[in-house]
Amino acid sequence: MPALVFMSTSSSTMRVLILIVAMGAVLELAPQAEAARAFFVFGDSLVDSGNNNYLVTTARADSPPYGIDFPTHRPTGRFSNGLNLPDIISEEIGSERVLPYLSPELTGQKLLIGANFASAGIGILNDTGIQFITVIRIFRQFQLFQQYQQRLTALVGAPQATKLVNGALYLMTLGGNDFVNNYFLAPISQRSSQYSVPEFSRYLITEFRKILLRLFELGARRVLVTGTGPLGCVPSELARSGNDECDPELQGAAAIFNPQLVQMLQELNTQLGSDVFVTANAFDMKEDFISDPQKFGFVTAKVACCGQGPYNGMGQCNPTSNLCPDRNLYAFWDAFHPTEKATRLIVKQIMTGSTKYMNPMNLSTIMALDSRT
């Protein structure tokens, strides 16, 4: 075809040039679209990026000083001073921040990035978080995920949609509220009069197993599942106990629940014949900086940056609360949730931690494995 290239009329030359430029653009875009892995997030306030902004609920983080260190310096609904766990994982896997499913901005090409269905206040059980009124419980999050898949299919067709859903990374953060906002919510709760802590934990594991199998049915093939953190050591619990010690009951509950979770996920993987579920040991990841905050550059892992009362652990974080000037010096942002700085330490372990932290393997290993298939 040299004749075409050497044609001398200027309009033909222009056409060839435009063609070359257009081809260049396609070539440049294609590898990017191929490389970005979609990311789907399910769970509670530790991973909610703003769904609760759209709900009638008291579990919300949409007023200052939430978001004070976010790129926009405004509240977004994240329970953090800045970025939260899904945001930093997105950074690490090289994709854009995932939008909350209820955000009106989540349309068109944005659907290809993934979606965040998490809602602050929810738990494994349907009766967890009823005090927060309309939160999106886990089975409802799955219904919305099905709705998402229909919208995705309309956009890219069924084969591409299935490929995106099967090839995506998933994050499931659930369980803490079943203890904090259910079993231990009152001195005598309905659940605590029904079950001992080990019985309740076994019940939670049974229900969590059903939830994770449902997620598998919906197409998930790589799911990071976070265990519960040191629930008894959050500023809220320190304020409640008042003796400067982590609450032993909540610590004991986490110590029962987490190993059962690891075991259940191992059994599920064996049953499915594949390492679909990967446990992130949030307890040990957080315990590291709670037991030795100075080692990680924090001045305290007991006092929250934002709040009031002892340890800044009482009530809400809001415009009238105490606010620390440097959030990088605090492990806890509010009475329950870590700062962005602490969350970065957690993600570091998720990416490269040993089997003490990530079972059966860390996310950098997963990314390397999955890029080969």
Ligand X SMILES: *[C@@H]1O[C@H](CO)[C@@H](O)[C@H](O)[C@H]1NC(C)=O
Q: Which residues bind ligand X (CB under 6 A)?
A: 126, 139, 207, 352, 354-355, 361-362, 364-365
Using left for φ > 0, alpha for ψ between -120 and 50, and beta otherwise, residue 19 falls in alpha
CB of 143 to ligand X, least distance (A): 8
What are 23's two structure tokens? Answer: 């081809």
Q: Nearer Cβ to ligand X, position 107 or 206?
A: 206
Annotated active-site residue in 10, 178, 337, 370: 337
CB of 86 to ligand X, least distance (A): 20
Pairwise CA distance, residues 113 & 101, whole Å? 11
State the maximum Cα–Cα separation within the chain, in Å, rounded to a whole number: 89
- In a 3-state reduction of DSSP, which class is residue 246? coil
CB of 213 to ligand X, least distance (A): 12
Q: Which amino acid is at 358?
A: M
Q: Nearer Cβ to ligand X, position 56 or 368?
A: 368
Pairwise CA distance, residues 98 & 86, whole Å? 8
Q: Nearer Cβ to ligand X, position 90 or 362?
A: 362
State the helix-helix crossing angle for 282-291 and 248-272, rounded to 10 degrees: 150
**29 bridge partner residues:** none
Q: Nearer Cβ to ligand X, position 145 or 298?
A: 145
CB of 93 to ligand X, least distance (A): 14
Is 307 in contact with 318 (CB distance < 8 Å)? Answer: no
Specify the residue for token string 């902004």. 53
Q: Is 326 a catalytic residue?
A: no
Pairwise CA distance, residues 45 & 278, whole Å? 20
**H or E element that contains 114:** strand 114-116
Using left for φ > 0, alpha for ψ between -120 and 50, and beta otherwise, residue 126 falls in alpha
Q: Nearer Cβ to ligand X, position 162 or 269?
A: 269
Q: For 302-361, give the DSSP string.
A: SS-SEEBSGGG-BS---TTSEE-S-GGGBSBSSSS-B-HHHHHHHHHHHHH--TTTEES-
Annotated active-site residue in 87, 178, 247, 334: 334
Q: Is 334 a catalytic residue?
A: yes
CB of 194 to ligand X, least distance (A): 13
Q: Nearer Cβ to ligand X, position 13 or 126?
A: 126
Q: Is the dihedral of CA 297, 251, 335, 284 positive or negative?
A: positive
Annotated active-site residue in 45, 95, 103, 236: 45
Give the other-Cβ count within 10 Å of 339's Cβ.
Answer: 26
CB of 211 to ligand X, least distance (A): 9
Q: Is 337 a catalytic residue?
A: yes
Q: Nearer Cβ to ligand X, position 8 or 371?
A: 371
CB of 191 to ligand X, least distance (A): 12
Catalogue the active-site residues.
45, 334, 337
